[in-house]
Copies of this chain bind each other. A is one copy, B any other.
Amino acid sequence: MHPFSRKPSETVSALGEEKLIEHIRRWLGPVSPPAPLGIGDDCAVLAPSARTQAVTVDPVIYGRHFDDAVPPRAVGAKLLKRNLSDLAAMGAAPVAAVLALTLDPAVRTKWLEHFYRGLAACARAHRLHIIGGDVAQCSGTLAASLTLIGRATARRMLLRTGARAGDHIYVTGALGGSLLGKHYRFTPRLAEGAWLATRPEVRSMMDLSDGIAKDLRALTPAGARPELIAAAIPISAAAKKMAQADKRPPLAHALGDGEDYELLFTVAAKAGLSAFEKSWRSRFKKIPITRIGRFVPSRAPVAPGAIDLSAYHGYEHLTA
């Protein structure tokens, strides 16, 4: 659905702000608690938290994170899931979210309804509340930014820092080709992230958003470099399909396409890997993990079959 309409009666300008907010509350349904715990006061009131909290913010922007081909319900879900994936990457669980909407007055009310209903369904499934927000006008734009507050599920949050030279590098699922649909159909790895945070042999974690070729830098400890084994990289069917179409290697798609929303994590060098992998398989039957390489000292000789990561690129933001 195209989000803009030339018929004023179909657009949010016909509603005005107050009616639009009423509609939003109805579209969100029970996901939007009554004020002051939800929409309607100057701030939303949130209960004290005995647990350490996690906060993240991510947007969806028309023309950037979605287009007319993505159903508006899926856009709403994607907005929340992008943020849920960030919580998953810490081993945290969601609590509440606020949403800042910026839109042109010509945005189609029907589009917004589906967007909010998709968001609400996803929030219900993950048992979190949408407790507040803001609606602002911005010509030619349709963008929503969601701030998600979560809580630790284990004694620690699993950070990006913590890996050491020698650690093994793992990834969930399969990589690449997300533009063919996974970029909005993905499942944030919340249960998996929470479980990994309880495992002492897991030392660091992040979610993959810009492609492993770029994202892996954030996990790499000082004095080390990642050594990935090309044959080990789990390449998705979508990556292979895109590779057939554009004649680029499937591996380039797997390493660089971005929007995988899988977990990338490291396991201590001395850990019992087979016991760890067995525990994973008994807990998460349908989600594979793959050991794709390890961090080695920067000066170590390059192993046969290792990927030269400098030849691959992740998704680059802010390009003119």
Residues of chain A at the chain B interface (Cβ within 8 Å): 8, 11-13, 15-17, 20, 35-36, 40-59, 61, 63-65, 86-87, 89-90, 92, 96, 98-100, 102, 105-106, 131-141, 143, 145, 147, 149-150, 157, 159-161, 206-207, 316-320
Q: Are B57 and A46 in contact (CB under 8 A)?
A: no
Chain B residues in 8 Å Cβ range of A36:
157, 159-161
Within the complex, the shortest CB–CB distance from A86 to chain B, in Å, comes to: 4
Q: Contact: B49 with A53, CB < 8 Å?
A: yes
Contact B46 A48 (CB under 8 A): no
Within the complex, the shortest CB–CB distance from A32 to chain B, in Å, comes to: 14
A98 CA to B59 CA in the complex, in Å?
13
Nearest CB in chain B: distance from A164 CB, A:
17
Copy total for this chain: 2
List 10 A–B pairs whose Cβ atoms lie within 8 Å, in order of A's numbering. A42-B86, A42-B206, A43-B54, A45-B157, A46-B149, A55-B147, A64-B137, A102-B143, A105-B320, A137-B319
A15 close to B318 (CB less than 8 A)? yes
Q: How far is the CB of A50 from chain B (nearest CB, A)?
A: 6
Alpha-carbon separation in the docked complex, A57 to B140 (Å): 22
Q: Do A136 and B98 touch (CB < 8 A)?
A: no
CB A308 to nearest CB in B, in angstroms, measures: 21
Q: A46-B52, A57-B134, A100-B145 are in contact. List 17 more A-B contacts (CB 8 A).
A: A11-B320, A12-B318, A13-B320, A16-B318, A20-B318, A41-B90, A41-B161, A42-B87, A43-B150, A45-B157, A59-B102, A61-B136, A100-B147, A135-B318, A136-B317, A137-B319, A138-B141
In the complex the two chains form, is B45's CB within 8 Å of A98's CB? no
Contact in complex: B54, A318 (CB < 8 Å) = no
Is A160 within 8 A of B40, CB to CB? yes
In Å, the complex CA distance between A264 and B92 comes to 39
